[in-house]
Amino acid sequence: MLQLPELVELEEIILQAGDALHLQQHGEVKSAEISFPLYSISMGSQKPEAPVLGFFGGVHGLERIGSQIVLAFLRSLLVRQRWDSSLQRKLETMRLVFMPLINPIGIARGTRSNGRGVDLMRNAPVESSEKTSFLVGGHRISPLLPWYRGEFNSQMELENQALCHVVKTQLLSSPFSIALDCHSGFGLRDRIWFPYAHTRSPFPNLPEIYALKALFDQSYPHHPYVIEPQALQYCTHGDIWDYLYQENSGSGHLFLPLTLELGSWLWVKKNPRQLMSLLGLFNPIVPHRQQRVLRSHLLLFEFLLRAVHDHTHWLPKTNHYLNCKEEAEALWYGIL
């Protein structure tokens, strides 16, 4: 039977945390000889009006490092919750949500797709209005090829249904929420992407994203991240975060979905032997480098925690809102 160390670690965390966590299981996924549960975890205030920060990982099974950094942060928070009074106070008025293993069969098998050969990040009912790269942008040719979207007019895959349920019930129900979905495999630099993926048109909540970027830049001027709309790099069909953002449209609630895209090409550049392994193209293999990656994003995670808790202090209003909109359009879309 295939083993999944990340699931073992998650279940150990759940067992050790006891009442400190709220656990939900959203069914299970099965494929041939294996079956895995789909878990989500929350901690902090369960009030619907509480602001929410969600951490997600493991959408693509090859990108194990995304799940691992979410698990590492969850474990750190649970230890700190015992003694860190400032964290305890924050959790009285905000909620943290974790779904670290969205595609457990893909992780166990070392495949990008799920057990049915579907790429979960090409599976949502969203069609790109832009020219997309052949295959990479999403296709319906065959599950034997990567980036397969699934059959036309079929339901989303079970993993995506579970993800959507968690986001809709835990995040979109809140007046303010941010989601961070952790991936790897693109470029030499770590990037933070925001919508859209299906169009190069400006994101409607551009002023809020720009204000968040400015806050991060001012608070940590030497941070390593490139912050940009995903469509600046490439467009795709079926992006699940574009879909969830559109589902929230008109609700009056503010939802900012972000993607952390770790620049795995840098790991390959430093250790070319990783080219010999498919996992090596998407994950740090050398132990000391993996440990460095697991701790290097804590600053970003802690910043987002504080930004969500204190969102009323930095969200743009009136004239500042218009200034943020103009500056963001000039920076990312060349609109002057």
Which carries the bigger pLDDT value, residue 250 or residue 305?
Answer: 305
Give 220-261 as a DSSP string: -TT---EEEEGGGT---S--HHHHHHHHHTTSS-EEEEEEEE
pLDDT at 283: 62
- Cα 197 to chain centroid distance, Å, stands at 14
**Element (DSSP H or E) covering residue 27:** strand 22-31
Going by C-alpha positions, the residue among 130, 128, 123, 68 that lies closest to residue 98 is 68
5-333: CATH topology: Aminopeptidase (3.40.630)
DSSP type of residue 202: P
Per-residue pLDDT tens digits for 45-85: 999 999 999 999 999 999 999 999 999 999 999 999 999 99
Task: Give me the pLDDT at residue 41, please.
Answer: 98
Checking if the pLDDT of 217 tops 80, the result is: yes
Share of the chain above pLDDT 70, in %: 90
142-195 pLDDT per residue, tens = 999 999 999 999 999 999 999 999 999 999 999 999 999 999 876 678 999 999
Average pLDDT, the chain: 92
Residue 32 or 275, more confident: 32
Helices (H) and strands (E) in the chain, counts: 11, 8
The pLDDT, as a whole number, for residue 266 is 64
| Strand, coil or helix: 184 | strand
pTM attached to this predicted model = 0.94
pLDDT at position 287 is 62
The domain limits of the chain are 5-333
Confidence band of 292 (pLDDT split at 50, 70, 90): confident
Q: What pLDDT is attached to residue 128?
A: 97
115-157 pLDDT per residue, tens: 999 999 999 999 999 999 999 999 999 999 999 999 999 999 9
Q: Which value, in Å, is the radius of gyration of the alpha carbons in the chain? A: 19
